[in-house]
Amino acid sequence: MILYNSITRKKEPFTPLDPKHVKMYVCGPTVYDRAHIGNARPVVVFDVLFRMLKHLYDTVTYVRNITDIDDKIMTAAAKKQVSIQHITTENTRFYNEDMTALGALPPTQTPKATEHIQEMIQMIEDLIQKKFAYAKDGHVVFDVERNNTYGKLSRLNLDDQISGARVEVAPYKKNPQDFVLWKPSDDTQPGWDSPWGRGRPGWHIECSAMVKKHLGKTFDIHGGGIDLIFPHHENEIAQSECCHDGSPFARYWMHNGHLIVNGEKMSKSLGNFFTVEELRDTYAGEAIRLTLLSAHYRQPLDWRPEVVAQSTAILDRFYTALEGCPDAPGTVSDAFLNCLKDDLNVPEALSQLHTMVSNIHKEKDLFQKQTLQRNCKASANLLGLLESTAENWFQGTESDDVLWIEDMIEKRHQAKKNKDFKEADTIRDKLREKGILLEDTSNGTTWKRK
């Protein structure tokens, strides 16, 4: 497999440190609110990577953290007059529900920041002892000047940070670029005892601590949104590599492009976002997923309703091709796999899928057709698509009106037999009003919900 590595800015052949065991970490959510569709893009993108890696290697450990201590959570709790734990457990549950609806597999592990406070404190102590960090006024701050490789991921030159940039001036920092590892908490704020008094961790140290615990000092792939390159990932590298005496941190860095709306970045601070929850009310989870996969993961993706409608139309066609697909395993197409091996070229893989679907429709021999169907399904499954059945996709799982539908179809059948086409069309129109579309085939009439 070939992957684009953000730190070298080149496509590189991927070779895991342990040829039988790939280790991957992706930055997960800060659980202060419901996920928006932009939060879902990295989840779906790295879910495809996870599926690919599992297909190609014996063992894959995929860690995605839950950040459940953060000032945004504190603000949300205060605003809603509920406990912090209420906010975090509820939003964690919502997050998992939303991502499951988008067809994302659960990662191997989903560690929580609050369950790794001791590990963070230990790393911070190491960094102080090695003189990469200093304590002042209850804060512990990373000393960027002591880290001479600082900036290697983002390639930002510290001296060039001039006007236009927001540079925080905090009294406890030696340099404006220094970032906080630990900060003090007052009695109203959540906090843990530490060598520097009661306090809580800064933003970046949680990921370093959880990576170290679950994947070790050096691991294979670190992923996240492109906006995390600076400062989050840059700071993770600094903390971890300084703490580990220069042992390399992630070997491959992967960043997904932003989701945009009407040409503008979608973000909570701009207010131009859709939550996954509200989109799920309108569209099938799988259609949302296909839309998120419609552009290459490193490209920006413009979220527009027409594209989701297009994705739905594509899935209709795909599932039509899978009607009668036996429930048996198939083989992933080589042409399809090769697309994905080239830095997850999903759009090109999808075009292979279209070819397969077309061949299924044209195949007359039933046995051949079923083989093609199984292989098509196996291929699509690598993208987390076509995991349902045609019946479920078209007819849904609610069944209270199925008897009525079948009754109407039978009545129409009788009318057609009597050449009473007017009555037959009346019945069909009546069903259409209820969102039921009929299709006459050589084996009788089938129906779909629209």
Tokens 């684009």 sit on residue: 4
Candidate ranges 84-92, 111-119, 126-134, 342-350; the one touching RNA (CB under 7 A):
342-350
**Checking DSSP bridges between strand 10-13 and strand 2-5, what pairing results, if any?**
antiparallel
Interface stretch with RNA, choices 86-94, 262-270, 281-289, 376-384 (CB under 7 A): 262-270
Q: Residue 57 or residue 388: which is nearer to RNA going by CB?
A: 388
Q: Which is nearer to RNA, 86 or 174 (CB)?
A: 174
Is residue 201 near RNA by the rule CB under 7 A? no
Rule CB under 7 A: which of 10-69 touch RNA? 27, 29-30, 38-39, 41-42
Amino acid letter, residue 428: R
> Residues 128 to 187: which contact RNA by CB under 7 A?
144, 154-157, 160-168, 176-179
- Token pair of 158 as six digits: 């510290």
Residues 309-328 that bind RNA (CB under 7 A): 309-310, 313-314, 316-317, 320
Q: Among 148, 188, 397, 441, which residue interacts with RNA (rule: CB under 7 A)?
A: 441
Strand partners, 112: 66
- By CB under 7 A, which span of 107-115, 132-140, 191-199, 345-353 interacts with RNA? 345-353
- Beta pairing, strands 133-136 & 139-142: antiparallel
Residue 134's SS3 state is: strand
Q: Which of 136, 174, 304, 434 binds RNA (CB under 7 A)?
A: 304
How is 20-64 classified by DSSP, letter by letter?
Answer: TEEEEEE---B-SSPPBHHHHHHHHHHHHHHHHHHHHSSEEEEEE
> Should residue 380 be labelled a site residue for RNA when binding is judged by CB under 7 A?
no
Closest listed residue to residue 205, CA positions, set 117, 145, 132, 120: 120
Name the residue nearer to RNA (CB basis): 214 or 298: 298
Smallest gap from Cβ 409 to RNA, in A, equals: 11
Report if residue 293 touches RNA, rule: CB under 7 A: no
Q: Which residues of 13-43 are buried (b: 16+ CB within 10 A; e: fewer)?
A: ebebeeeeebbbbbbbbbbbbbbbbbbbbbb
Is position 246 an interface residue for RNA (rule: CB under 7 A)? Answer: no
- Provide, rounded to whole angstroms, the least separation between the CB of residue 322 and RNA: 11
Our CB check for RNA shows the closer of 142 and 196 to be 142
Residue 16 vs 415, nearer CB to RNA:
415
Q: Which is nearer to RNA, 204 or 212 (CB)?
A: 204
Give least dist CB 92 to RNA, A: 14
DSSP string, 248-278: --EEEEEEEPPEEETTEE--TTTT---BHHH
* Candidate residues 65, 208, 256, 333; the one interacting with RNA per rule CB under 7 A: 256
- Whole-number minimum distance, CB 51 to RNA, in Å? 19
**Cα–Cα dist 348/335, whole Å:** 10
User: Least separation, in Å, of the C-beta of 259 and RNA?
Assistant: 4
Cβ proximity to RNA: between 378 and 390 the closer is: 390
- State the residue for tokens 């691991």: 219
Omega within 30 of 0 (cis) for the link into 231? yes
Nearer to RNA, 79 or 362 (CB): 362
Q: Which string of x and - marks every residue 79-118 that binds RNA (by CB under 7 A)?
A: ----------------------------------------
Structure tokens at 324: 């009668």
Helix or strand run (H / E) with residue 333: none
Provide the minimum distance between the beta carbon of 286 and RNA in the complex, in angstroms, as a whole number: 15
Q: Closest separation between CB of residue 159 and RNA, Å?
A: 9
224 forms part of the interface with RNA (CB under 7 A)? yes
Distance between CA 346 and CA 44 in Å, rounded?
Answer: 12
Distance, CA of 53 to chain centre: 15
Cβ-Cβ contacts under 8 Å for 325 (sequence gap 6 or more) = 370, 373, 374, 377, 389, 390
Q: Does 437 bind RNA (CB under 7 A)?
A: yes
Site size toward RNA (CB under 7 A) is 87
